[in-house]
Amino acid sequence: MIRNNGKEIGLAVIGCGTIGRIRSEFAKNYPGVGWIGLCDIKEDLGRKLEKDVGADFFTTSAAELLARPEVTAAIIATDENNHMEPILAACERSLYLFIEKPLATNALESEKVLKAIEACGCDAVIGYTYRFRRRFLAVKEKLRTGQIGDVSSVIARAFMNRMVPIATVRRTNQRRTLTPMVVSGTHALDMSMWLMGSKKPVSVYAQSTDKILEEWGTKDSTFGVFTMDDGTIWSMNISWALPVAWPGAVYGVQIGIVGSQGVIDIEDTHRDVVIASEKPQWAGYNPEGFDPGFDRHVDFLTSYPPGDISEGQLWGPMREETNSWLSRIYTGISTPHATAQDGHRNLLLTMAMDLSAERGEPVELPVEDLEILPH
């Protein structure tokens, strides 16, 4: 890890939407951040955030912001399809990087980005917020210390309502790779891979369905089974086509891990705290210009992945993740962030699932010819 030696951080935030705003608000209160610059192609959106966080600079040009001498670190929070150019520009200056997942939505672009990151030697991490949930950190430690012996079977299931896919794909015509696995299943996939440690997938067989979201150019669900290099089997399943009225604000996941000396069963569906009210409930994921069509009156509290609002502030894993990244830069502490290598691997695994579903047959891993992956 490259250390900043306690020098003030000059932070560039590329993308001032929901996540860019959240991370900018955390950064403004971090004592090691001495300068904040913002960029968004929507000037009104960026100017509002500039005012709200007291930013030092705003522009609609990512290249202009990343070239500023004050900038030492950058958050890439653009739409999924638009990560490559700002990342490459940041690599030219070897900036510290925080990149919202996925690394890219094209396998060849992801490989290009990874090579640029490795060539410049910059410290780059990927936004997998679930790694900062207390329950998953506790499970990781139990597995790291061998508390259930050798893991032989893993089951992961993620459920989401359809607000995320509709709000995501409506912003672009480049929809082929905006699948449930690439965009959202990647969180459960990253978590499963992180928990399994050094195990490597050698094959995957998957199937998909698109009865509901076909009109939006994406799939409803993808279910797959991975075989690992030591014979471990891992079932990885996601559906992001649940009705908008589904009470989960965004993401609910269950993971079961069977070992030779025990089992760990993780229930993260958020059904333990439920509100039912005559008043409409916040949907959690509510990007600019998106109308889900009707009100929701029941909600699973704590199911919004970034965290929960209390007295006007967001508390939870995204605060932990952002502040830990800033501390990683400012003080050099070790953190559980996903690396750029993890991000590239995750993208290829999600795309291999989509390729298997498209072909109707198993796919051997790793996929050496990235040209055959969806792009």
Reference 104, options 87, 123, 116, 129; nearest CA is 87
Average model confidence (pLDDT) for the chain?
92
The Cα–Cα gap between 298 and 274 comes to 7
236: nearest Cα among 249, 227, 246, 248: 227
Instruction: Say what the pTM is.
Output: 0.92
Percent of the chain at pLDDT > 70 equals 95
Tens-place pLDDT, residues 306-332: 999 899 899 999 999 999 999 999 999
- pLDDT (0 to 100) of residue 290: 66
Do residues 129 and 317 lie in contact, with contact meaning Cβ atoms separated by under 8 Å?
A: yes
For 263, other C-beta atoms within 10 Å of its C-beta total 12
Give per-residue pLDDT as tens, 256-284.
999 999 999 999 999 999 999 999 887 66
List the structure tokens of 342. 């993890």
Contact in structure between 147 and 262 (CB atoms under 8 Å) = yes
Q: Residue 351 has what pLDDT? A: 95
Exposed / middle / buried, residue 224 (Cβ in 10 Å: 0-12, 13-18, 19+): buried
Interhelix angle for 84-91 vs 107-120, to 10°?
10
Model confidence at 26, pLDDT cuts 50, 70, 90, reads: very high
- Residue 198 CB neighbours (<10 A): 7
Q: What is the pLDDT of residue 163?
A: 84
Structural domains for the chain? 9-129+319-338 (3.40.50.720), 131-313 (3.30.360.10)
**pLDDT tens digits, one per residue of 184-210:** 999 999 999 999 999 999 999 999 999
Q: 45 falls in which pLDDT band (50, 70, 90)?
A: very high
> Tokens representing 341?
């290598």
Distance CA(247)–CA(281), nearest Å, equals: 9
Q: How far apart are CA 38 and CA 75, in angstroms?
A: 10
pLDDT computed for residue 174 by the predictor: 61
